[in-house]
Structure 1
Amino acid sequence: MKLLKSTLVVLSLFSAGALQAAEDMTIRLATTTSTYHSGLLDYLLPEFKKDTGYSVEVLAAGTGKSLRMGQNGDVDLVMTHAPKAEADFVEKGYGVLPRKLMYNDFVIVGPESDPAKLTGISDVTKAFSKIAEENETFVSRGDDSGTHKKELNLWAQTKIEPNFGGYKAVGQGMGPTLNMASELQGYTMTDRGTWLAYQNKLQLAIVLQGDERLFNPYQVILVNPSRYPDVNYQGAKSFSDWLVNPKAQSMINDYKRHGEQLFVANAITQ
């Protein structure tokens, strides 16, 4: 009986140790739906695991939700695209070691018939104003994501409250928002990566691009281990280090959908 008990204790300790070891080799990443839907992470993560042995558990949400997960200590690092919210996250002590990672851009898409006549307009605020003045359908993510924050900032620049009859905030990620805009034959703002991933399934077209205000920078930020000692800080730092090094930066630049580059790596130049 004593031998059996001793064996059970040893097995229990071994199981606990194995579980802890597995947890130490798993990294929890909260990130935007754009990095997920674009396929970028599916492209990067197998190579990261091959190089380091770490597995990454991806929790894809909007930037607001991702940062809240970081604030609650529910993840080990965040990869987001809302500079003001990220600066606040670091300033309040929730995040450490913020690093520029890459950028892409937003585009305005809408019905091929373009009822608001936006084609040829290069100023995104003028385009938004025309949509509101014509009371055309505009589908907003309405989910506190980086895309939603950027959209609201652009509406603020027009001095128009986005509460006109055609404005619909759906509280969804980028993919469902694009699908709804297509179904309703309305306009929306999307990151280029998700657009390229979805465009063949939609009855929409790009009606405006290239305005410098549509620039979309991404950062990777570690959750502060001083505030949350249980986070896998070492694993998270390994992932951050890997992302900003030349190999991953080159992979980011090389990643394409439908022959188009989705993201431009910008960590090497720091």
Structure 2
Amino acid sequence: MSMVLVLLVTSAVGANAKTNPIYQKVAAEKEVILATTTSTQDSGLLDYMLPTFEKRFNVKVKVIAVGTGQAIQLGKDKNADVVLVHSRKAEDEFVRDGFGHKAHDVMYNQFLIVGPKNDPANIKSAKSAADAFKKIAGSNSKFISRGDDSGTHKKELSILSKAGIKPEGKWYVSAGQGMGETLRMGEEMGAYVLTDEATYLTNKTGLINLSPTDKDLFNPYGIIQVTGTKKPHTANELIWFFISPEGQSMINQFGRNQYGKNLFVPDAKRR
């Protein structure tokens, strides 16, 4: 992060911010809508971070937690001011098509392939994510897909495509649900699930992590201001809050006390 950006963020959100014109403009807007993926909400990250922002600027952040595809559509329809999602291809298209700007990387973690302890498809021996899915489909073991156009669903489809596998057949179950509910279905059915790391760790199930080491399971998150938002000052400051040294430190600390590790790795940079 550049020193200029750090200074801008610090000047806007410092201890005496109420005398700052930026504070006054943000406070006047009263509310900002953040459309985001379910993992940032279900993991508790937003409940951990947003009260600090809301108290500082005396504004309300209304969170709409849905799949990435739905969150991006909310931005396209001007029903959100900021989107925080995890599908880089969809994010780049959103910006390229003029629906968003001021796109930044915020953080990352990993996608995990989890399943029953007896691992009927023996994916623990897989050399890659694509190989793991070949073993699941080839053994006709159950796999539960979110099936909801979320970032996790998009990642699943890209891995299946790479593996040359069609998402169909008796082994493949489309849940049409969020991540937490999909994990619970996976546990009940003794099935495999592709999940983001944070939601897996915060939703205790009997499923275990069987993931191979594979760069295809990298899971970056991006934050973007919606073009034409009626809350430009608050949207701008919300983005700066997430990518500021303070916000990045909060991301780095989140989960450490409870899970022994941070659930997201801070990685702020302008695209």
TM range (shorter): 0.7 to 0.9
2:208 pairs with one of 205, 210, 216: 205
- The residue aligned with 1:154 is 159
- The residue aligned with 2:109 is 104
- The residue aligned with 2:198 is 193
Residues 1-270 of structure 1 aligned to structure 2 (within 5 Å): 24-199=29-204, 202-225=205-228, 231-256=230-255, 257-267=258-268
SS of equivalent residue, structure 2 residue 210: strand
Q: Is there any run of 5+ residues in structure 2 with no aligned partner, and where?
A: 1-25
SS of equivalent residue, structure 2 residue 72: helix
1:195-236 residue CA offsets vs partner (Å, 9 max, x unmatched): 00012xx121111143111001111001101xx5xx211111
AA of the residue aligned to 2:210: V
| CA–CA distance in structure 1, aligned partners of residues 171 and 270 of structure 2 | 43
Alpha-carbon RMSD across the aligned residues, in angstroms, is: 1.6
| CA–CA distance in structure 1, aligned partners of residues 269 and 182 of structure 2 | 33
- Residues 185 and 203 of structure 1 are in contact (CA less than 8 Å); yes or no, is this contact kept in structure 2? no
| CA–CA distance in structure 2, aligned partners of residues 209 and 183 of structure 1 | 23
| CA–CA distance in structure 2, aligned partners of residues 110 and 122 of structure 1 | 16
Q: Is there any run of 5+ residues in structure 1 with no aligned partner, and where?
A: 1-20
**Cα drift, residue 259 of structure 1:** 1.6
AA of the residue aligned to 1:34: S
AA of the residue aligned to 1:109: V
Aligned structure 1 segments of 4 or more residues deviating by more than 6 angstroms:
none
SS of equivalent residue, structure 2 residue 182: helix
Q: Which has the larger radius of gyration?
A: 1
**TM-score of the pair, normalised by structure 2:** 0.87
Q: For this pair of structures, how many residues does the alignment match?
A: 244
Aligned CA distance change for structure 1 residues 91 and 240 (closer, same or farther; 3 Å): same
Moved more, 139-148 or 205-214: 205-214
**Cα drift, residue 121 of structure 1:** 2.4
What percent of counterpart residues are identical? 43
**Cα drift, residue 268 of structure 1:** 5.5
- Residues 95 and 224 of structure 1 are in contact (CA less than 8 Å); yes or no, is this contact kept in structure 2? yes
| CA–CA distance in structure 1, aligned partners of residues 108 and 213 of structure 2 | 14
**TM-score of the pair, normalised by structure 1:** 0.87
**Cα drift, residue 122 of structure 1:** 3.5
Aligned CA distance change for structure 1 residues 22 and 238 (closer, same or farther; 3 Å): closer
Aligned CA distance change for structure 1 residues 245 and 38 (closer, same or farther; 3 Å): same
- The residue aligned with 1:17 is none
| CA–CA distance in structure 1, aligned partners of residues 248 and 234 of structure 2 | 19
